Amino acid sequence: MSQKEVLRRLGRQFSDHFGRRHTVAAYAPGRVEVLGNHTDYNEGFVLSAAINLGTTFIAAPSPDSSCRLVAGDLMEEVSFDVTSGARAEKNNWSNYVKGVSAKLHARSKSATGFLGMFLGNLPLGAGLASSAALEMASGLALSSLYGADVPNLDLARIGQAAEHEFAGVKCGLLDQISSLFGREGQLVMSDFRTLKVDNVPLGEDACFLMCNTNAKHSLVNSAYNERRAKCEEAARFFASVLKHPVTALRDVTWDEWQTHSSEMDPVTARRAAHVVGENTRVLRGRELLKRGDLAGFGRLMFESHESSFANFENSCRELDFLVSLAKKIPGVLGARLSGGGFGGSVVVLLHPRDAETAGQALASAYQKEFTHPCDVRIIKPSAGARLIPPASGA
């Protein structure tokens, strides 16, 4: 469904379910991580993009402090009080919105609850940041409902806090910032130490394929938190052996890693190698894009995936198969896993003229190898999260 179709369907379902019309609506896109994997919580650099798939959240004030939240695809409802700071043990999908609502309530002190419903066209578990899209869409809608002026970076932090405290995932700010700061035809360049965000044009002669392996992953139940702990352990090690201050792996150069890696636990050294190498690749990639060198940028994407496989070990057989195949397809410039890993999607960089042929080749080979489909679609860098004006069809 298109965004307009999602909004129309959601509006009808809201009226039927609650017996009234919604008063606020917001849309937030998912994101594709193009270069820079697990660098955000290491205070490093990422090139990402908001994409042309996302989540719409609509709401109206409730007559009291009660909140009724409905997942529009399942038509399942969860009820809670706006003052409640407790996470849900059942219907875990509600925790993303509950967390955002709790943080906004603490900020605005509004005693008003809400009637809320959401629906999107982002495939769940595909590594496209569906949870962050829900957080940002609900955050924008509820901020408007409560009359709260929340700057984008504050809203991103609220979404992150919802992940940490309600969903149990120690994520960085990559997904939320990408969703908020996207621009059409441009990548989002984020510095996660200073939280400076810029946009870098991708160029008209480039597009992405997103290949959803349908190998579902849940970061809560995966090794995400263990990987983060290893990165923090590595940072403490480098702080003890380097003469300059080190507060995160952002402060470690590749030369320094090579000099001291043999002194570390081998697993911790490999985890650090991935993050330090990724930061180097992002900075190099930005310069290549500014020069229009898409082929060079694509090679960095292949290098990034190899590091995910060998050093961070957050890939899987399905992801590796697609990246290996992509290298052999004419017109493909680069490919890598996108997101936390352990399943999800591969992002492929190529010229638009080659997208259809390459997509068919990837889908066909994947089906033959794994006997279930790989969803392949063209992804466009798109505008970021926004409120939807009343009576709008989008």
HEC states along the chain? CCHHHHHHHHHHHHHHHHCCCCCEEEEEEEEEEEECCCCHHHCCEEEEEEEEEEEEEEEEECCCCEEEEEECCCCEEEEEECCCCCCCCCCCCHHHHHHHHHHHHHHHCCCCCEEEEEEECCCCCCCCCHHHHHHHHHHHHHHHHHCCCCCHHHHHHHHHHHHHHHHCCCCCCHHHHHHHHCECCEEEEEECCCCEEEEEECCCCCEEEEEECCCCCCCCCCCHHHHHHHHHHHHHHHHHHCCCCCCCHHHCCHHHHHHHHHHCCHHHHHHHHHHHHHHHHHHHHHHHHHCCCHHHHHHHHHHHHHHHHHHHCCCCHHHHHHHHHHHHCCCEEEEEEECCCCCCEEEEEECHHHHHHHHHHHHHHHHHHHCCCCEEEEECCCCCCEECCCCCCC
Residue 381 has pLDDT above 60, yes or no: yes
Residue 217 has pLDDT above 70, yes or no: no
Residue 4 has pLDDT above 70, yes or no: yes
Residue 351 has pLDDT above 50, yes or no: yes
Residue 194 has pLDDT above 60, yes or no: yes
Look up 175 and say whether it is catalytic. Answer: yes
Domain 3-200 identical in fold to domain 202-379: no
Q: What contacts 18, CB < 8 A, 6 or more positions away?
A: 60, 68, 115, 117
| pLDDT at 265 (0 to 100) | 95
Model confidence over 36-49: pLDDT tens digits?
999 999 999 999 99
Lowest mean pLDDT among 95-99, 163-167, 233-237: 163-167
- Which range of 38-42, 162-166, 248-252 scores highest in mean pLDDT? It is 248-252
Residue 220 has pLDDT above 50, yes or no: no
Q: Tell me what the mean pLDDT of segment 169-198 comes to.
A: 93
| 202-379 is a CATH 3.30.70.890 domain | yes
Boundaries of every domain in the chain: 3-200, 202-379
Lowest mean pLDDT among 35-49, 86-100, 131-145: 86-100
Residue 16 has pLDDT above 90, yes or no: yes
Q: State the pLDDT confidence band at 394, using cuts at 50, 70 and 90.
A: very low
Q: Tell me what the mean pLDDT of segment 83-104 comes to.
A: 89
Return the structure tokens found at 14: 């809201």
Q: What contacts 229, CB < 8 A, 6 or more positions away?
A: none
Model confidence over 337-347: pLDDT tens digits?
988 888 889 99
Better pLDDT: 33 or 391: 33
Q: What average pLDDT is seen over the chain?
A: 93
Residue 221 has pLDDT above 60, yes or no: no
Better pLDDT: 391 or 389: 389
| pLDDT at 110 (0 to 100) | 75
| pLDDT at 392 (0 to 100) | 59
CB atoms within 10 A of CB 183: 16
Q: Tell me what the mean pLDDT of segment 321-350 comes to.
A: 94
Residue 218 has pLDDT above 80, yes or no: no
Residue 1 has pLDDT above 60, yes or no: yes
Q: Tell me what the mean pLDDT of segment 115-119 comes to.
A: 97
Q: State the pLDDT confidence band at 191, using cuts at 50, 70 and 90.
A: very high
Q: Tell me what the mean pLDDT of segment 254-272 comes to.
A: 97
| 3-200 is a CATH 3.30.230.10 domain | yes
Q: State the pLDDT confidence band at 391, using cuts at 50, 70 and 90.
A: low
Catalytic residue selected from 40, 73, 154, 175: 175
Q: What is the pTM of this model?
A: 0.89
| pLDDT at 342 (0 to 100) | 85
